Amino acid sequence: MITAFVLIKTSVDRIPEAAQEISEIEGISEVYSVTGEWDLIAIARVQQHEALADVIADQLSKVEGVQATTTHISFRAYSKHDLDAAFSLGFEH
């Protein structure tokens, strides 16, 4: 699974609508409204790198109100859940 974080700048008057439309794109698992330089952050999860072009360039970037995007592709996930699973060795707590 390939995970990408897409930072999205939108028209101020289209933030909720753009977020909703983006969340309905197949391959987008989550969309967050955030503070700071960017208006939204979307998480894309796809099986192949080529699918990112379809999800981000061909669909997400064409949502009405989307003005700019920056995409960060994840190499590896580090989370408490992942670390617990890696070190548990099947023992019950």
pLDDT digits (tens, 9 = 90+) for 16-63: 999 999 999 999 999 999 999 999 999 999 999 999 999 999 999 999
The single residue listed with the structure tokens 């070190």 is 87
* pLDDT at 37 (0 to 100): 96
Among the CATH numbers 3.30.1490.20, 3.30.70.920, 3.40.190.10, 2.40.10.10, which is that of 2-88? 3.30.70.920
Q: Is 62 helix (H, G, I), strand (E, B) or coil?
A: helix
* Closest by CA position to 34, among listed 5, 73, 65, 76: 5
The sign of the torsion formed by the CA atoms of 9, 31, 58, 53 equals positive
How far apart CA 63 and CA 29 sit, in angstroms, is 16
Burial class of residue 69 in the structure, from the number of CB atoms within 10 Å of its CB (0-12 exposed, 13-18 middle, 19+ buried): middle
**pLDDT tier for residue 9 given thresholds of 50, 70 and 90:** very high
Q: What is the pTM of this model?
A: 0.82
> Domain segments of the chain: what residues?
2-88
